Copies of this chain bind each other. A is one copy, B any other.
Amino acid sequence: MSFDQVSGILGVFGTIAFAITGVMAVAERRVDFFSAIVLGVITAVGGGTIRDLILDVPVFWSLDLSYIRIAVAASIVTFIALSIFTRPQLIKGILYVDAVGISLFGMGGALKAYELGFAWPIGPLMLGVITAIGGGLIRDVLTGRKTLLMSDEVYAVPVVIGCLTMLMMLNFFPTMNSTALITGATVAFVLRAAAITWDLRLPRWFTTQIK
């Protein structure tokens, strides 16, 4: 499989993951079907849209309409499936799906900035983080939820470490694109999933709370 294919497939999975979290986020409210779909789509394409605006390139979903179609389809399926979930499962589940999304979008965002030669090395890292957490932040702000950034959960650091892993591999082995992408995404996802599963928190002295 070529690198573009790998990259494209992972982008599709990230889009699906974020669309699902967008619709799941309003599962406890009475939100109508169309608003839920709009929210799913905004969550799915929000981070990448901000990235492309900063890179000053055409937004990715205007070049390939399948991203929007996939986001709409994933949102509709999630909407229908919502009745299957019970609340406690849902709260935990949304975190894992979000973890898939931030891992894939983080690497995708960093990679796009890297390929465009944007402000190496800080630019790819910044845009990786923005792409990863942008859509989720918009989702949390629009739905009035506490943003995942605003807690002592291990949320930003897996993305940062995953991006750094990928960028370092690309720096030393520029031809190993696919491997670097998959490695970085795996590192990010495993760290984040471990944090969710065992409820890992950073030590108290590593948080902002005043004693």
Q: A residues engaging B (CB < 8 A)?
A: 23, 26-39, 41, 49, 53-54, 56, 58-59, 61-63, 65, 68-69, 79, 82-83, 85-87, 90, 118-119, 122-123, 126, 129, 133, 137, 141-144, 146-147, 149-157, 160, 201-202, 204, 206-211
Q: Is the CB of B32 within 8 A of A202?
A: yes
Top 6 nearest A-B pairs (CB, nearest first) are: A30-B152, A62-B119, A34-B157, A32-B202, A34-B156, A30-B209
A153, B26: Cα distance in complex, Å: 14
Copies in the complex: 3
Partner of A54, one of B53, B65, B137: B53
Partner of A53, one of B53, B69, B87, B122: B53
Q: Is the CB of B32 within 8 A of A206?
A: yes
- Beyond the given A34-B160, A36-B207, A61-B126, please list 12 additional residue pairs across the A-B interface where CB-CB is below 8 A: A28-B210, A29-B151, A32-B208, A35-B156, A38-B133, A38-B149, A56-B56, A62-B118, A68-B122, A82-B210, A86-B210, A141-B141
B contact residues around A82 at 8 Å (CB)? 208, 210
Q: Is the CB of A26 within 8 A of B160?
A: no
Q: Is the CB of A208 within 8 A of B149?
A: no
Partner of A79, one of B65, B133, B142, B208: B208
Q: Is the CB of B147 within 8 A of A144?
A: yes
CB distance from A85 to the nearest CB of B (A): 7
15 cross-chain CB contacts under 8 A: A26-B208, A27-B208, A27-B209, A31-B207, A32-B151, A32-B155, A35-B155, A37-B156, A54-B59, A54-B62, A56-B58, A69-B122, A83-B211, A87-B210, A143-B147
Partner of A35, one of B27, B31, B150: B150
Q: Is the CB of A126 within 8 A of B68?
A: yes
Complex: chain B residue closest to A209, CB-CB: B30
Complex: chain B residue closest to A23, CB-CB: B208
B contact residues around A62 at 8 Å (CB)? 54, 118-119, 123
